[in-house]
Amino acid sequence: MSAAPAAPAEGDAPKKGPKKLIIIIVVAVLVLLLGGGAAAFFLMKKKAAHAEGEGGEEVDTAHEVKKPEKPPRDPKHPPVFVPLDPFVVNLADKETERYAQVGISMQVDDPKVADEMKAYMPAIKDSIILILSHKTSEELLSLDGKHKMAEEIQRAAARAMGYDVEEPEEESPEDEPPKKKKKKKKKVEAYNPIEKVVYSSFIIQ
């Protein structure tokens, strides 16, 4: 009768436990490293995008706040004049009947304003006629009177076009007592597209 095969000795069994443990540890470390790297990458990318967005907002805000200034007129380009039809108006003289025949041209700061004036021309002419009809021949025959009327027409025409132009405050007469004499006030500087009013003809009869 043959003998039963001998059982393998305990020392002969393969030692696989430690190797499996090492592999598991290495895999776990790699997973942690990869996961941490991916998280850091996405976090840095998010911060960069946020910073870029803030920078873009600052640029846009600066662009909105900054207002482009009107460039000075090029001296090589001549000014733009808008000629009006001559005005023939009865003056406000009481003792005698007199009338004025006045030719007017308006100097504007932009060719677009000249085109804009065409739409408001009836209102502009009406304001000029009202100014002329309230003047006397004595006022218009003086150089100072002509200058003052030109300034009045300049402001009235701008108002007829919808621009808010205020009247300059008048100075007190020289013979007024010192206590009541008003201080000289500066003219209100407001934008007026009409730079000047010039006369092409001026006849008083």
Q: What is the mean pLDDT of residues 7-21?
A: 55
What distance in Å separates the CA atoms of residue 186 and residue 168, rounded to the nearest whole number?
A: 8
What digits encode the pLDDT tens for the residues 20-38? Answer: 667 777 666 666 666 666 6
* Percent of the chain whose pLDDT exceeds 90: 43
What distance in Å separates the CA atoms of residue 83 and residue 198, rounded to the nearest whole number?
A: 9
Q: Cβ(195)–Cβ(108) under 8 Å?
A: yes
What digits encode the pLDDT tens for the residues 43-58? Answer: 666 665 555 554 444 4
Local confidence band at 165 (pLDDT 50, 70, 90 cut-offs): confident
* The pLDDT of residue 62 is above 80: no
What distance in Å separates the CA atoms of residue 203 and residue 104, rounded to the nearest whole number?
A: 12
- Name the more confident of 138 and 34: 138
End-to-end CA distance of the chain: 163
3-class DSSP assignment, residue 134:
coil
3-class DSSP assignment, residue 153:
helix
pLDDT of residue 110: 87
Query: CA angle, 188 as apex, 119 and 124 as ends, to 5°?
Result: 20
Q: Cβ(154)–Cβ(194) under 8 Å?
A: yes
**Residue 104 neighbours by CB under 8 Å, 6+ apart:** 83, 84, 86, 87, 128, 153, 197, 198, 199, 200
